[in-house]
Amino acid sequence: MILEVAATHSITQVVDLCSGGGGPWIDWLLSAVSQPVQSVILTDKFPNIDTANKNIPTGLTYWTESVDATEVPIQLLGFRTLFTSFHHFKKDAARAILQDACENGQPIGVFEFTRRTIPALLLMLLAIVPVWIAVAQMRPVKFSRIVLTYLIPVIPFVVTFDGFVSCLRTYSPSELLTMVNGAEFAGFEWKAGITEGSAFGFPVTYLIGSPAVKQPKQTG
At residue 220, the 3 state secondary structure works out as coil
The answer to whether the CB of 208 falls within 8 A of the CB of 1 is: yes
- pLDDT string in tens for the chain (220-residue length): 666 665 666 778 899 999 987 778 777 776 655 567 788 999 999 988 777 667 677 788 889 899 999 999 999 999 999 999 999 999 999 999 999 999 999 999 999 988 888 888 888 887 778 778 887 887 887 888 888 888 888 888 888 888 888 888 999 999 999 999 988 888 899 999 988 755 555 788 999 999 886 544 544 4
Neighbours of 2 (CB within 10 A): 19
Helix (H) or strand (E) holding 206: strand 204-211
Cα-based angle 154, 146, 140 (whole degrees, multiple of 5): 130
Residues in the chain: 220
In the chain, where are the structural domains located?
Answer: 2-115+170-211
Pick the CATH number of 2-115+170-211 from 3.40.50.720, 3.40.50.150, 3.40.50.740, 3.90.280.10: 3.40.50.150
Contact 113, 206 (CB under 8 A): no
User: 0.85 exceeded by the pTM?
Assistant: no
